[in-house]
Each structure stands twice: as structure tokens, then as C-alpha cells.
Amino acid sequence: MSNASPRPLSIAAASPLRGTVTVPGDKSISHRSLMFAGLAVGESRIRGLLEGEDVLATAAAMRAMGADIVREDDGSWTVHGVGVGGLLQPQTALDMGNSGTSTRLLMGLVASHPITATFVGDASLSKRPMARVTEPLAMMGADFTTSPGGRLPLTMRGLCPAVPIAYTLPIASAQVKSAILLAGLNTPGITRVIEPVPTRDHSERMLRGFGADLIVEETPEGRVISITGEATLKPQSIDVPGDPSSAGFWMVAASIVPGSNITIRNVLMNPTRTGLVAALRLMGASIEAVDTRDVGGESVADLRVRHASLSGIEVPADLAPSMIDEYPILFVAAAFARGITVARGAHELRVKESDRIATMAAALTLAGVSVTEHEDGLTIEGRDGEPLAGTGGDRVASLLDHRIAMSMAVAGMHSREAVLIDDAAPIATSYPAFIDTATSLGAAPQWVAA
């Protein structure tokens, strides 16, 4: 999982994008479905699970700690959980591949169990800081031995019973919030997380659906999430909606490629996840939500997206938490807009799979876009709908980051000459069918020799 061979990709303008897309299941919900079902007592069934490498890393880790997880012939997954407090000692290191979500949330689970676990990952994940999670979990009693800089590989020893805490998030992070709440599941008393800036709320919604005693309150200090520990989770039947982060690539692709008209089916429209839709609409994108409906407590819709002339904007900073993973593809949209786009307030991008601010600045510059880098984002001078010139035979450095690779592949869909990407193999971590889907819509990606 952690040592895939590089797969360079070439892509240039072909034809308008037309057709219907079904994107993979939402990654955030897929991770949590496996974890929470693995802690429930009884059998849960999951349909629409994202079968990318990141989610499969979560499945493997939960199996290693005792959960019985099986993919059925019809593509659904069944999970027989061990019960809260029932995680077993893993016999080998837990290989997280490239998945920061798997790592941070599973550390939360382990923190309140009497087990020791070692977490390892690929070169990209091993560069990402873990202190934002280890610090609050250490306050609850977990003990950590980390690599220099608080990074992977790391070994943690959980404490049972752990100590409940009230923790105010210093930065907006759904992963940190979720890790603390998951540690609180097996901790006597009430564990509280205070988030001054709201973040995606899938953990709260799903934990309540599984039967956890969880309360969310709005206060002057922010949103307070309280979970009562020593919980009993009940098995569930889960239908995972389409990932809005994956849908974002096609929203932008259809917006920038002249003549395009596509429909994206079954997209999660949770209000904590729709920042990209809001930003693109502010830029003038034609995105129509059709057949909005409720699926398992989450809002879902089909999105019809047509080519439109985009205009540069100052991206509202309050959208950042609801689109933090979508900034790379938003930067691509800005590259084709009329005028200047300023996208700031996204410090978190510096510590994703790559430094996504610096990596996208370098990639777009190589493709001929005028970019100014800031500590918390980019200012981009758009090309007013004109295609890119290409990368002149040079290769964009994806730095093992799936979203960089896919974002620059979308940029290449409106480029006179080829945009070359040094390694598109990481795309498999979140969207294994991305290349095939691009081809089916009319794009022309090609694998090239390393």
C-alpha cells in the first residue's frame, strides 16, 4: 500500500465533457462507517463504501483489532463489531498508507483502550504532524513515542479508564474533534470538545445514529459537543452518499471546458461540506441541485453542471472549513476565471498530504498561470477562459498527493498542449475510477512511461 510505483500521466484538451457521473462514496463517512460499526455489538451493513486505499487502510486496521469486516459479492460490506472497549491488541504495525484520517481517528479509538499500537505510513503521511491529536489524547492519558517532529512512525499506549477532558480546538479540524470524541466513547464521564469554528459534523451525526449519548450545543464560545462515555453502539444499515470532494473535480472540469454538460449523481450536500459549491456559484458557475433528498439523515442531491464563464472573487474565509480539501481544485477554477481570485484563510493546507499551497502554486506556475503565494492561500490571475499552454514537457510534482494529481489533470482538460503529472498513482487512495471516468466523459488522459 505504501510503496506504489510512480505512474506519470499526460492530459490535454480533447472534447466537451458530456454524460452522467456517479462519484465514489464519501470518504469521511466511509471511514467512520467502518470504525463505528467495528465498535457496535452485532452486524452492520454498509452500501456505497468508498473502496479507495485510504478507506481500505481503515478496514485493515479495524480487522487487526478484532472487527470482522467482509466485502460481499454484491459490493456491500458487513461488519461484526467488538463493542466499545473491546478492541484487541494488534499483532503487527497498523499501516495507514497515505490516510491522515485513518491515522488520527484510529489513534482516538486506541487512546481509551488498554492496548499498544504502532502506526506507520507512506513517505507523504510520515511527514505530516500528529501533535494536534497526540496532545489532547495525552491529556486523556494516552502515552506516545513518536518520530522526530511528532510524526510517524509512532507507538501509542492507551489508558483504560481514560480521563475525560474539555478541549477547545486551537484550529478548525474535524479530525482532531473526532479523535477526541472517539476516545471519549470508552472514557467514564463526559468528554467535551469546543469548536469556535464549526467543522464537518459527520462524527456527531453518525455517533448519534449508532446510539451514542451525544449532545451539541451552540454557545458564545462556539459549538460544544459532549459525549457520555462507556457507550453501547447499536449496529446500523448505512448507505454512503457520493463524496462532494470527488464531485468537485467534475464541477470544475465541466465549468472550464467549453461545451460541457454533465450530471453528478447522489452527491452529499451536508452544509458543512458544500463550501466549494458556494464558492463556484459566487464565481458564476452553473451548478443546479436536482432531486434534493434525505438519505440516512444526510442531504443528498444530483448536480447538473454546465460550462460557464467564471469571474475572480475574494473567497469568503468562512467557507474554508467546509471546503478545506477542495482548495486545490478551486485554485484550478480560479486559473480559468476572468480577473483575480484571492483564496486565503486556509492555513490547514500546509499540513495535508503535501503542502497544498506551495505544491499548487508550483504546479499552476509551471502551466503558465500567474500565482502569488501567501502563508494561508493563493492569489491567482485568471486566464479569462483561455486554455493553458501546457507544461512544456516538464512534469508537475504531485508529491504523493491525490488531490494535486486530480486537480492538475482537470487543468489539463482545458490545455492546448499536454499537462504532464509526474505520478498519478496516488489517485487510487480516494478515487480509483477517476481516469476511467474522465475518459468516459470525453477527456483524453494517457499514462506515459516513467
DSSP readout, 309-353? --B--B--GGGGGGSGGGHHHHHHHHHTSBSEEEE---GGGGGSS
Per-residue pLDDT at 419 exceeds 90 = yes
Q: In 10 A of CB 259, how many CB atoms? A: 12
Identify the DSSP state of 46: E
Distance between CA atoms of 123 and 126, rounded to whole angstroms? Answer: 5
pLDDT band at residue 1 under the 50/70/90 scheme: very low
Per-residue pLDDT, 409: 98
Map grid coordinates 467534475 to a residue: 250
Q: Is 173 annotated as a binding residue?
A: yes
pLDDT band at residue 268 under the 50/70/90 scheme: very high
Mean pLDDT (the chain) is 95
pLDDT band at residue 4 under the 50/70/90 scheme: low
Which residues carry out catalysis? 325
Per-residue pLDDT, 347: 86
Map grid coordinates 502554486 to a residue: 361
pLDDT in tens, 69-84: 999 999 999 999 999 9
Average pLDDT of the segment spanning 205-222: 96
| Alpha helices in 112-197, H assignment, sequence order | 131-139, 174-185
pLDDT band at residue 296 under the 50/70/90 scheme: confident
pLDDT in tens, 64-119: 999 999 999 999 999 999 999 999 999 999 999 999 999 999 999 999 999 999 99
pLDDT band at residue 302 under the 50/70/90 scheme: very high
Q: Is 205 annotated as a binding residue?
A: no
- Beta strands 286-295 and 298-306 are antiparallel
Q: Which of 289, 284, 238, 294 is nearest to 265 (CA)?
A: 289
Per-residue pLDDT, 321: 86
What's phi and psi for 372, nearest 5 deg? -115, 125
Q: Is 177 annotated as a binding residue?
A: no
Q: Is 403 annotated as a binding residue?
A: yes
Q: Is 281 annotated as a binding residue?
A: no
Distance between CA atoms of 311 and 338, rounded to whole angstroms? Answer: 5
Per-residue pLDDT at 151 exceeds 60 = yes
Domains of the chain: 9-25+241-447 (3.65.10.10), 27-238 (3.65.10.10)
Give the amino acid at 401.
D
Least confident among 23-27, 198-202, 346-350: 346-350
Task: Give the global pTM.
Answer: 0.87
- Beta strands 237-239 and 43-47 are parallel
Per-residue pLDDT at 2 exceeds 50 = no
Average pLDDT of the segment spanning 248-271: 97
Distance between CA atoms of 143 and 177, rounded to whole angstroms? Answer: 19
Per-residue pLDDT at 397 exceeds 60 = yes
Q: Are 16 and 261 contacting, i.e. CB atoms less than 8 angstroms apart?
A: yes
Average pLDDT of the segment spanning 261-284: 96
Q: Is 27 annotated as a binding residue?
A: yes
Q: Which of 275, 254, 239, 291 is nearest to 437 (CA)?
A: 254
Distance between CA atoms of 93 and 371, rounded to whole angstroms? Answer: 42
Give the amino acid at 214.
L
pLDDT in tens, 34-50: 999 999 999 999 999 99
Average pLDDT of the segment spanning 219-239: 96
Distance between CA atoms of 39 and 87, rounded to whole angstroms? Answer: 8
